[in-house]
């Protein structure tokens, strides 16, 4: 892996962590001050992504620290791949939790403070769009998903971090759509249905990432 490119991704990840952490702290703080459950929930949800991004950052630091170490005769790229695999598992769990929570709300509808929830969703979306622009992820295209050259040069560690941000942005967009429909058409169950759809999309992304990182970890080569 190109170490200059790797260090650039490390700096981007750190920048996104800083932005996400500031937003998380403000949402939780104002959630307690105002008694807003929507702000608190979104703040703690963003905290899970900060943890995942932290894992990505730590792996970059370890890769840099041990890149010339004799303890890693084949290089340190596997550290990043392992972090990406672990992060993709967290991504899958996020998708499952979204589906579970949405299913509960589908069968046990709750009162929604639409204006407050829409505001929180817009704040989350703006923060995630900023983070997406910071990361500027560009996938290296291979002839096939299992192409060896593609697997060797793809920075799955960074890709996993990017997917966490993309997932958050997607859930914000879907939430805004669902909340607007619920507010103006009184279809409160639509929020839960959209949540289930979002969870399915997240799980699909997680599955693809788990598959690719696993193949790279075991040095899979298509015959």
Q: How far, in Å, CA of 161 to CA of 13, rounded? A: 8
Domain count, the chain: 1
Q: How many CB atoms lie within 10 A of CB 221?
A: 11
Considering only residues 91 and 42, tell me which one the structure prediction assigns the higher pLDDT: 91
CB contact burial 3-40 (16+ within 10 A = b; e otherwise): eeebeebbebbbebbebbeebbeebbeebeeeebebbb
The range of the structural domain enclosing residue 46 comes to 3-217
User: Token pair of 5, please?
Assistant: 């490119």
Average pLDDT, integer, range 180-187: 86
Q: How far, in Å, CA of 42 to CA of 49, rounded? A: 11
Indicate the helix (H) or strand (E) that contains 112.
none
pLDDT band at 34 (very low <50, low <70, confident <90, very high): low
What is the model's pLDDT at position 40? 64
pLDDT, the chain, mean: 80
- Whole-number percent of the chain with pLDDT over 90: 9
Considering only residues 90 and 140, tell me which one the structure prediction assigns the higher pLDDT: 90
In the predicted structure, residue 210 carries a pLDDT above the cut 90: yes
Q: How far, in Å, CA of 21 to CA of 52, rounded? A: 12
Residue 179 vs residues 6, 59, 172: alpha-carbon distances, Å: 39, 38, 10
Please check whether residue 223 lies inside any domain of the structure: no
What is the model's pLDDT at position 94? 83
* Per-residue pLDDT tens over the stretch 95-114: 898 888 888 888 887 777 78
Considering only residues 192 and 210, tell me which one the structure prediction assigns the higher pLDDT: 210
Please check whether residue 114 lies inside any domain of the structure: yes
Residue 144 vs residues 106, 191, 218, 219: alpha-carbon distances, Å: 40, 37, 18, 16
Q: Are 175 and 117 in contact (CB under 8 A)?
A: yes
* Per-residue pLDDT tens over the stretch 6-30: 568 888 899 999 998 998 888 788 7
- Burial degree of 217 (CB within 10 A; 0-12, 13-18, 19+): middle
Please check whether residue 83 lies inside any domain of the structure: yes
User: Token pair of 22, please?
Assistant: 């500031």
Please check whether residue 33 lies inside any domain of the structure: yes
In the predicted structure, residue 142 carries a pLDDT above the cut 80: no
In the predicted structure, residue 156 carries a pLDDT above the cut 60: yes
Please check whether residue 222 lies inside any domain of the structure: no
């Amino acid at each position: 892996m190109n170490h200059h490119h790797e260090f650039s991704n490390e700096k981007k990840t750190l920048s996104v962590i800083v932005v996400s952490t500031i937003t998380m702290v403000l949402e939780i703080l104002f959630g307690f001050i105002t008694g807003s459950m929507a702000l608190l929930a979104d703040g703690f949800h963003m905290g899970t992504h900060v943890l995942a991004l932290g894992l990505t950052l730590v792996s970059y630091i370890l890769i840099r620290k041990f890149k010339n170490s004799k303890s890693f005769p084949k290089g340190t790229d596997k550290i990043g791949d392992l972090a990406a695999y672990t992060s993709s598992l967290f991504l899958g769990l996020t998708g499952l939790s979204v589906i579970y929570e949405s299913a509960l709300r589908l069968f046990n509808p709750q009162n929604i403070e639409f204006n407050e929830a829409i505001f929180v969703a817009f704040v989350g979306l703006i923060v995630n769009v900023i983070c997406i622009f910071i990361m500027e992820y560009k996938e290296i295209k291979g002839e096939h998903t299992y192409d060896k050259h593609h697997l060797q040069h793809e920075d799955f560690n960074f890709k996993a971090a990017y997917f966490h941000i993309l997932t958050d942005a997607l859930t914000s967009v879907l939430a805004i759509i669902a909340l607007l429909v619920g507010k103006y058409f009184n279809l409160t169950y639509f929020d839960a249905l959209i949540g289930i759809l979002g969870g399915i999309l997240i799980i699909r992304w997680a599955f693809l990432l788990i598959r690719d990182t696993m193949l790279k970890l075991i040095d899979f080569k298509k015959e």
